[in-house]
Structure 1
Amino acid sequence: MPVVELSAGTIDYDDTGGNDPVLLFLHGFAQNGSLWRHVVHELRAEHRCVVPTLPLGGHRHPMRPDADLSLRGVSRLVSELIERLGLQEVTLVENDWGGAHLTIAEDGDQRVSRLVLTSCEAFDNYPPGLPGRTVWLAAKIPGGITAMAQALRLRGLRRLPIAFGWMSKRRVPDDVMDSWLHPVITQSAIRRDARKYLRAVDRRDTFAAADALRCFDRPALVIWAAEDRVMPPDHGRRLAELLPRGRLIEINDSYTLIPEDRPGELAATIRRFIREAPATG
């Protein structure tokens, strides 16, 4: 897997290569780029798909001890990644994590030509829902992240509502979730990074991110899981209304992790959006 050196440390990423347009896919906490494997499989023949693993607990390489791993800090890393890889006219696609809003508020908006938000953190839902609040509270307790990570060695516990049970309607394959959780289970430095991110949670960041959308005057699509139990469906409508050129599509039979529950429909929706919305970079 290729890596790129950023100011915070070493980041893994996948890159299908190929011709433009470029799609950059972002995942959520305690996950990695494999969240997007099915969607990338559907789109790679027509698009260059770049999928980084962000330092959100599912990353393999510990960040530097002084790295800013707040929502704002990680969103700046996305901008830095875009610049370092020389990507242009990027379609930025996020799920679960809400930092892409801030990325376009930083320097990254100069290279982002389209935005796709799929069921993600927004407004006052940060940390998001029951699983988000549970892990956030664990980070406040000495040893809490370690205890939670070790408990998730037991695959049966992963489907509890406080873990991933309300994140996807369908069970994420064990080997995929093992890859998501292995770093935080086995490496104390990764748990340190995850703890740092969680302890930096500040709702002012998600409200600032939402405000940034008012100034994004390029094509934007909000895709929300109609049955989402972690990210309120009303937030999808509110985000679409903030975007000057935004519109909303709801997907049925899915929870937050639409790339796991409905990857084919999600890929088709993204493909259609790109065809109908020429880049304006």
Structure 2
Amino acid sequence: MARSGMLGEAKKVELPQGVVAYREVGEGPPVVFVHGLLVNADLWRNVVPAVARGGHRCLSPDLPLGSHEIPMRADADLSPVGVADLIGDFLAALDLTDVTLVANDTGGALVQVLMVRRPERIGRVAFATCDALERFFPPVFRFLPPGARLPGSGWVLAQALRPRLFRRLPVTFGWLSRRPVPDEVMDSYLRPARDDGGVRRDLRRFLVGVHRRYTLAAAEEFGSFDRPVLLAWAENDRLFPMSLARRLADLFPDARLVPVADSATFVPEDQPAVLAGLINEFAPVSRR
């Protein structure tokens, strides 16, 4: 399944963990979009064009979180720390500096780990409702890491999401967006794991490693991250409440919290124009 043409030109980069596909459009200071579990770069299809028009180089990688099309190497570290390092390796391979990172859902947890491990290429971070602190994962999804240890669980999960009716259940995608995600986009998200055993293997390897100890440990170091942080947070989200956002914002020296109305966790799906506007205000067009 090809990614949305609105994300720009299709490219690939060789990293120590394997080949990562990404889309790129626009010119100017780099903005890298980090998606979460069981979605891919298509999550950003309605956000990227406006940010590119705002004077930014937009890069949207497909991370190995279950909706990618190129399996990673068999020995790749796909723990939360390993995938955070993969994002850092992506920035390094493309020699990106003073980067604006925009992260949603599980991607926010990975960026938090990256911020304290390898902050040197990061200029600022925008979180669009995401895992943080003790909510990695939120309670409704905490069955996934232990479930992933069971043989064949990747195949079972991929097949369970085949019926479209099941995709709106709270334990699948139902609480992630206010409105149903278009079927063709959901196919982009779900078909890779159904069709490719290597993708399912990568998904399981990530899931078994998910634990709140990673986000809690990262949070202890946020006081030393002196660059700007934006939290564009769905104000009535069921998975990541506003109280979590306030606690997260208080940990950073330079953070701004902006409530986003009429949205669930997938702010890029529910309120893409609002999110794009906030990113354009937050990310400078000229380098510092």
Q: TM-score under structure 2 normalisation?
A: 0.92
Contact 1:229 1:255 (C-alpha < 8 Å) held by counterparts: yes
Q: What residue number does 2:131 align with? A: 121
Are 2:127 and 1:88 aligned? no
Tell me if structure 1 keeps the 8 A contact 2:19–2:70: yes
After TM superposition, the structure 1 stretch with the greater mean CA deviation from structure 2, 134-143 or 181-190, is 134-143
Instruction: Say which of 14, 34, 52 aligns to 2:23.
Output: 14
Q: Which secondary structure does the structure 1 equivalent of 2:233 belong to?
A: strand
Hey, what does 2:47 align to over in structure 1? Answer: 39
AA in 1 matched with 2:196: Q
**Which residue of the partner structure matches residue 209 of structure 1?**
218
Q: Which residue matches 2:248?
A: 239
Structure 2 unaligned spans of 5+: 1-9
Of 106, 111, 124 in structure 1, the residue corresponding to residue 117 of structure 2 is 106
Q: State the secondary structure of the residue aligned to 1:80.
A: helix
What amino acid does structure 1 have at the position aligned with 2:13? V
Amino acid at match of 2:137: P
| 1:23 paired residue number | 31
Partner of residue 186, structure 1? 195
Q: Deviations over 1:9-52 (max 9, x none)?
A: 1111111141x221110000011001001110111122110111
Tell me how far 1:279 sits from its aligned partner. Answer: 5.6
Give the partner amino acid of 2:224. Answer: C
| Aligned partners of 2:138 and 2:239 also within 8 Å | yes
Root-mean-square deviation over aligned CA pairs: 1.5
For the Cα contact (< 8 Å) 1:114–1:279, is it kept in 2?
no
SS of 1:140's partner is: coil
Would the aligned equivalents of 1:32 and 1:53 in 2 still touch at CA under 8 Å? yes
Structure 1 residue 56, shift from structure 2 partner: 0.5
Equivalent pairs, count: 276
Q: How far has the Cα of 1:224 moved from its partner?
A: 0.9
- Aligned residue for 1:99, secondary structure, equals helix
Aligned to 2:150: 141
- 1:230-281, Cα deviation, whole Å (9 max, x unpaired): 1222111111111101111111111100000000111111111225x9865x
Contact 1:79 1:106 in 2 (8 A): no
Q: In the alignment, is the contact (CA less than 8 A) between 1:22 and 1:48 conserved in 2?
A: yes
Runs of 4+ in 1 over 6 A off after TM superposition: none
- Find the aligned partners of 2:32 and 2:283 in 1 and give their Cα distance: 13
Cα displacement string for residues 140-196 of structure 1 (whole angstroms, at most 9, x for unaligned residues): 332222112112111111111110000111111010110111111111111111111
The SS at the match of 2:218 is helix
Structure 1 CA distance, aligned partners of 2:201 and 2:271? 33
Q: 1:153 aligns with which of 159, 162, 186?
A: 162
Question: In structure 1, the residue corresponding to 2:133 is in which secondary structure?
Answer: coil
- Asked if 2 retains the 8 angstrom alpha-carbon contact of 1:113 and 1:279, the reply is no
The 2-side partners of 1:114 and 1:211 are apart by 18
- Corresponding letter in the other structure for 2:233: W
- Identity rate, percent: 43
Alpha-carbon distance in 2 for matches of 1:129, 1:25: 25
Query: 207-216 vs 118-127, which deviates more?
Result: 207-216
TM-score (norm 1): 0.94
- Which of 157, 171, 183 matches 2:180? 171
